[in-house]
Amino acid sequence: MAEFEREPVPESARLGFRSFLGQYAGEHVAGTELMIGPLFLASGVSAFDLVVGLLVGNLLAVLSWTLLTAPIATRARLTLYYQLERICGRHLVTLYNLANGIMFCFLAGAMITVSATAIGVWLDLPMPGLGDTMPGSAGWVMAVVAVGAVISIVAARGYRVVARFAAVAAPWMIIVFLAFGIVGLSQLGVTEVGDIWETAKTTIWTGGDPLPGQVKYTLWHVLFFAWFCNMAMHVGMSDLSVLRFARKSWYGVATGAGMYIGHFLAWLSASVLYAVQLQTDPTNTSVLPGPMAWHACGLAGLICVVVAGWTTANPTIYRAGLAFQAIVPSISRVKVTLFTGALATTAGVFPAVAMKLLGFVALYGLVLMPMGAIVFVDFWLLKRLGMRDEFAYRAGLKFHWPAALAWVLTVAVCLVASSQASVDLIFLGLPGWFVAALLYIVFSRIRQAEQATSLTPSPEGSL
Amino acid sequence: MKETILTFAAVSGLLGTLVAAALVFAGQVSLGVAKTSMLVATVVWFVAAPFWLLRGDEGQAN
């Protein structure tokens, strides 16, 4: 299929609603869901806070895709990278690619960690605990390296084969995640559907103190996490590259399939498995998807853990490779993907990323979010405010400092606010978006005033 | 006819996993039996589903 990397997607290449439904449902039932669900429980969240927080937060995420990302995607029909290049200049996009690629590597590392926990069950390896940041044994390191090597080589050599395998595996994984929850509830002593909510409140998500080393989660934490765990994709505008193929902008609601299957059903099911583990042995606080899945669904559960990690690490490593390759285009995609896989595997060896996944996901979104605010302002507001959009493209710039400064300052302000005021990063995405938008408007006003007289329209014109 | 059989087998693989879990919940089968059933259902799904889901998709892999 043509990628239309530097041109709008033509009418003939646009896709129907069902394509997006399937893609989003599959993409958000990932290996990392098996970590996030248990980490909620470890954070001492109550049943009401978790369920209501997820319902509302996921709805806000779907609305963000539908009302922020999709309208721009279906009007401009450009990839995020090309749209950013026109706004910010090629050199700034290179920096963005570097940040994006590094974040993808850490995310893929967490997925490799998840898959390695299934290998650990087979080989009876000592595995990391909830508070561990360093690898605890040579066996664990070898398991992660073996899984990472296989995933990396396959991503480099046969990305599309794995993508097709992932399409086949997705419906089955959704069913196995559901089975995790059903069997887990049974293991907690639930025998009737009517008893589920009572057990949820009194046995599973009882509220109270978090486990040692974890941050206490309230309804607001859950709501903002559900909303912003994919912040880079919706308000950060990464999914412009996906939704530009949509015939209508309302197709953004297809993300609801991913949110309510992956980020509701799968998280709750994985959380139930962790509750079973804690009920069986309260001292075993390790969040290890392999052993939890094995106890609930046997070999089918273990296969699900490996497949969930593998099929989602595959495109993540591939995307990171593409981001790095954009920086050094002379190196082959195979070499870049192998290098990227090695980075991800190194990250996966250290359990810190997976065990602190809630915090990492918040940081990942925050770092990439300002560029989404810049795209939004450039597309909708600059012309209304009497300024020129796509300034780098029109002025022939390779580095547009208003965008760079707005990006860096926003991230810095959020990080300082988080450390000084002890505010969880997940809450700073929303104010951060407005900070980035405001800074970009102010800096653009200053920059465009300097060049107002000499600026000439690009021969290619505006899109 | 072959397509119908493969589609039926694939759907049975999905339902088999779900039904096994539901029967454990209802106390009708032991967890051991359910785990074996889920494994069999998994094999059935991965054998049958590619022929169903990837129909007409051949030649696109690299």
Residues of A in contact with B19 (CB under 8 A): none
Q: How far apart are CA A204 and CA A403, in angstroms?
A: 46
Q: Does B25 fall in a domain?
A: yes
> How many residues are given for chain A?
463
Confidence tier at A388 by pLDDT (50, 70, 90): very high
The interface predicted TM-score (ipTM) is: 0.92
Q: Where are the domains of chain A?
A: 17-365
Q: Is residue B13 part of a domain?
A: yes
* Distance between B4 CA and the closest CA of chain A, angstroms: 17
pLDDT score for A318: 82
Mutate which: B11, B35, B37, B54, vs A, most A CBs within 10 A: B35
On whether the CB atoms of residues A363 and A61 are closer than 8 A, the answer is no
Q: How many residues does chain B have?
A: 62
Partners of residue A206 on adjacent β-strands: A46
Nearest-by-Cβ selection for A300 from B17, B57, B60:
B17
- Tell me how far apart the alpha carbons of residues A426 and A369 are, in angstroms, rounded to a whole number: 12
List Cβ neighbours of A29 (8 Å cut-off, separation of 6 or more): A170, A173, A174, A177, A258, A261, A262, A266, A308
pLDDT band of residue A462 (cuts 50, 70, 90) is: very low
Q: Is the pLDDT of residue A314 over 90?
A: no
Give A160→chain B minimum CA distance, Å: 5
Structural domain contains residue B59: no
Burial of residue A332 (number of CB atoms within 10 Å: 0-12, 13-18, 19+): exposed
Mean pLDDT (chain A, rounded): 91
A102, A123, A114: which is closest to A151 by C-alpha?
Answer: A114
Least confident of A7-11, A422-426, B2-6: B2-6
- Subunit contact A172:B27, Cβ cutoff 8 A: no
Give a three-class secondary structure readout of chain A: CCCCCCCCCCHHHCECHHHHHHHHHHHCCCCCHHHHHHHHHHCCCEHHHHHHHHHHHHHHHHHHHHHHHHHHHHHHCCCHHHHHHHHHCHHHHHHHHHHHHHHHHHHHHHHHHHHHHHHHHHHCCCCCCCCCCCCCCHHHHHHHHHHHHHHHHHHHHHHHHHHHHHHHHHHHHHHHHHHHHHHHHHHCCCCCHHHHHHHHHHHHCECCCCCCCCCCCCHHHHHHHHHHCCCCCCCCCCCHHHHCCECCHHHHHHHHHHHHHHHHHHHHHHHHHHHHHHHHCCCCCCCCHHHHHHHHHHHHHHHHHHHHHHHHHHHHHHHHHHHHHHHCCCCCHHHHHHHHHHHHHHHHHCCHHHHCHHHHHHHHHHHHHHHHHHHHHHHHHCCCCCCCCCHHHHHCCCCCHHHHHHHHHHHHHHHHHHHHHCCCHHHCHHHHHHHHHHHHHHHHHHHHHHHCCCCCCCCCCCC
**How wide is the angle at C-alpha A257 spanned by C-alphas A8 and A296, nearest 5°?**
135
Please answer whether residues A358 and A158 qualify as being in contact, where contact means their C-beta atoms are separated by less than 8 angstroms: no
Distance from CA of A389 to the nearest CA of B (A): 39
CB of A355 within 8 A of CB of A287?
Answer: yes
Is the residue at B35 inside a domain? yes
End-to-end CA separation in angstroms for chain A? 23
Q: Which of A179, A185, A299 sits opposite B18 (nearest CB)?
A: A179
Per-residue confidence (pLDDT) for residue B61, from 0 to 100: 35
Residue A273 buriedness (CB in 10 A; 0-12 / 13-18 / 19+): buried
Residue of B38, B55, B60 best to disrupt the A interface, most CBs of A under 10 A: B38
Confidence of residue A166 (pLDDT cuts 50, 70, 90): confident
Residue burial A384-403, b: 16+ Cβ < 10 Å; e: rest? eeebbbbbbbbbebeebebb
**Of the ranges A147-151, A163-167, A448-452, B34-38, which is most confident?**
B34-38
Residue A458 confidence (pLDDT) above 70? no
Q: Domain total for chain B?
A: 1
Residue of A164, A177, A185, A187 for testing the chain B interface, max B β-carbons within 10 Å: A164
Distance from CA of B33 to the nearest CA of A (A): 10
Distance CA A358, CA A271 (A): 14
* Gyration radius of chain A's alpha carbons: 22
What's residue B55's pLDDT?
72
* A183-201 pLDDT per residue, tens: 999 999 999 999 999 999 9
**How buried is B11 (Cβ within 10 angstroms: 0-12 exposed, 13-18 middle, 19+ buried)?**
middle
Q: Is the pLDDT of residue A454 over 80?
A: no
User: To 10 degrees, the CA torsion angle through A246, A249, A251, A252?
Assistant: 110
* Spatial distance between the Cα atoms of A397 and A86, rounded to a whole number of angstroms: 9
pLDDT for res A459 = 46
Question: Does the distance separating the beta carbons of A172 and B57 come in below 8 Å?
Answer: no
Burial class of A296 by CB neighbour count within 10 A (0 to 12, 13 to 18, 19+): buried
Radius of gyration from C-alpha coordinates of chain B:
14
- Residue B41 lies in domain: 2-52
CA distance A183 to A207: 23
Q: Does the pLDDT at position A321 exceed 90?
A: no
Higher pLDDT, B32 or A165: B32
CB < 8 Å to A299, chain B: 35, 39
Interface with B, mutate which of A172, A280, A303 (most B CBs under 10 A): A172
Q: Any idea which residue has 């990690």 for tokens?
A: A309
CB-based contact A300 B42, cutoff 8 Å: yes
In A, which residues are within 8 Å of B26 by CB distance?
Answer: 191
- Which pLDDT score, from 0 to 100, does residue B53 have? 81
Name every chain A residue with its beta carbon within 8 A of the beta carbon of B14.
171-172, 175
The CATH classification number of A17-365 equals: 1.20.1740.10
φ and ψ of A284, to 5 deg: -90, 90
Tell me what the mean pLDDT of segment A289-294 comes to.
Answer: 94
- B20 CB neighbours in chain A (<8 A) are 179
Distance CA A294, CA A401 (A): 52
Burial class, A409, CB count within 10 angstroms (exposed 0-12 / middle 13-18 / buried 19+): middle
| Residue B59 pLDDT greater than 80, yes or no | no
Chain A residues whose C-beta is within 8 A of a chain B C-beta are 158-161, 164, 167-169, 171-172, 175-176, 178-179, 182-183, 185-187, 190-191, 297-301, 303
Q: Write the pLDDT tens digit of every residue in A140-156.
A: 999 999 999 998 988 88
Decide if B49 touches A, using CB distance below 8 A. Answer: yes
Q: Is the per-residue pLDDT at B56 higher than 90?
A: no
